[in-house]
Amino acid sequence: MPSRPARAPRPRASAVLALALDAALVVAFAAIGRASHHDGGTGVLGEGGIGLATTAWPFLAALLVGWLASGAWRRPAAPLRTGVPVWLVTVVGGMLLRTVSGQGTALPFVVVATLALLALLVGWRIVATLVRGGSERRPRTVGS
């Protein structure tokens, strides 16, 4: 009797994990930026412990919009179908929210944020696709 293939994570579980990973990577991006530029003796969290939240919230809010706009929960690990739209909305929306909230959007920051978030938000999806051994369009079949 052939053995049953291991079950893939339920779609909801994989979407929740993917969203949590995206959010953690956005927070890590903000923390690294704060550690590089805002450590005036107050550390990564900043004055009163809200510095990291102040830096991260525009990108986290835009990340959620990107997830909703792209339907990311359907194929959360797809680099092109999900990763690219989530990344673009996160960068553009994050920069717009930073602007309206009075935070800086100097050109060097925009370039670094764009490239870093590309590497983080699309990069993990590419790695996951390579580890799965397939393209995002071709479903894996038993025995392949």
What does pTM read for this prediction?
0.81
104-137 in b/e form (b: 16+ CB < 10 A) is eeeeeebeebbebbbebbbbbbeebbeeeeeebe
Answer whether 61's CB lies under 8 Å from 30's CB: no
Instruction: List the domain boundaries for the chain.
Output: 11-132
pLDDT reading at 57 higher than 90: yes
pLDDT reading at 77 higher than 50: yes
Contacts of residue 17, Cβ cutoff 8 Å, sequence gap at least 6: 9, 76
Sign of CA dihedral 99, 102, 103, 106: positive
- Tens of pLDDT along 89-141? 999 999 999 999 999 899 999 999 999 999 999 999 999 999 988 655 555 44
Contacts of residue 99, Cβ cutoff 8 Å, sequence gap at least 6: 105
